[in-house]
Amino acid sequence: MIDLDLPELTSTPVDLRLDERLTRHSAPGSGAPAAPPVLGGRVALGGPIAAKVSNALVQKDPELAAFVESQPATSRYMLLHLSVTFMGAEDDPPLDTASVEFAMDGGTGTAPIAWSMTPSLVTRASQVSQTLKVGPQLKFFGAEVGGLGVERSRSHQSDEVFLEALRELRSDPAWEFSRTRFDELRGSHRLAMIAHAPAGTTARAEVTVRANVRLRRVFSYSAPLPDPIQLSFDF
C-alpha cells in the first residue's frame, strides 16, 4: 500500500443552468416560486487533473509495482484528481442533491473505465485527508464510509448516504451528493479516480455538474465543462 499526496487544485465557479426537462413542475396557479434561469455562486469545481500511473509512482510497494509491471503490453492506468465546493449565503435555498458525472470516450477504440473511485460511500460529511491510500491491484483503500482513507464506523444515526460513487467499472462514472438530516451540501470535498484503458488508447472525458434546489418544489440545474479532459494512455 502507498500514500499519494493530494495536489493543489484551483477551484472555478460553475454557472448551472435550469434544465427544464428534469425540473418537477407544479400546477399553474399553485403559487410556487419561479426558478432563476442560472444558479451561480453555489458550486465550484477544482481540476480535474490527470496523471499517469507509472512504475515510479508505485515503486515503494513491491506488490503494486509487480501488478503494474505484469501488464505493460495490455493495460494503462491514470489517476484523476478533482474537488467539489458547495457555497451559498444564509438565505439561499438549500441544495438538495448534486453530482459530478463523467462520460469517457475512447474514440475508435475501447473507452476507459473507472477502475477505482474514492470516496465510494460516505454517510456523514467527510473530513479532509491529505493523502490517498492505494492498495493491491490499484484499488483505493478505506474508500467506504469515511472516504479518502479515513475510516469511520457506522451508527444507527448515520444510515443516510451523503456521498456515493456510482457506476464504477463503467465509462460513465459519477459521484452523487445528497442532503441528509445531519449534513447540508457545503464545504469542499476531494474526489479521486483511477481510470483504466488498453495501452495506446487516446481518450477524453466530458464532465457535467448537476444540482437540484428545493423551493417548495425541485428545480434541476446542470452545466457541462467547456473543455473535456484529455486522457492519453500511450505511455
pLDDT of residue 41: 93
CA 56 to CA 60: how far, in whole Å? Answer: 8
Which stretch of DSSP H or E encloses residue 68?
A: helix 62-69
CA 180 to CA 114: how far, in whole Å? Answer: 27
Burial of 130 (0-12, 13-18, 19+ CB in 10 A): exposed
pLDDT of residue 154: 40
Listed residue (34, 38, 33, 43) closest to 19, CA to CA: 38
CA 116 to CA 130: how far, in whole Å? Answer: 18
| CATH label, 2-7+15-21+40-230, candidates 3.90.550, 2.60.40, 2.40.128, 1.10.150 | 2.60.40
Query: What pairs with residue 163 in β-bridges?
Result: 122, 177
CA 100 to CA 222: how far, in whole Å? Answer: 10
Distances (CA, A) of 125 to 163, 167, 186, 220: 8, 21, 9, 23
CA 200 to CA 159: how far, in whole Å? Answer: 43
pLDDT of residue 148: 40
CA 28 to CA 56: how far, in whole Å? Answer: 62
pLDDT tens across the length of the chain (235 residues): 888 888 999 999 999 999 877 665 555 555 556 788 999 999 999 999 999 998 888 888 888 888 888 876 889 999 999 999 999 988 899 999 999 999 999 987 899 999 999 999 888 875 445 568 898 889 998 655 443 433 333 443 457 899 999 999 999 999 999 999 989 999 999 999 999 999 999 999 999 999 999 887 889 999 999 999 999 998 8
Cis peptide leading into residue 119 (ω within 30°): yes
pLDDT of residue 232: 93
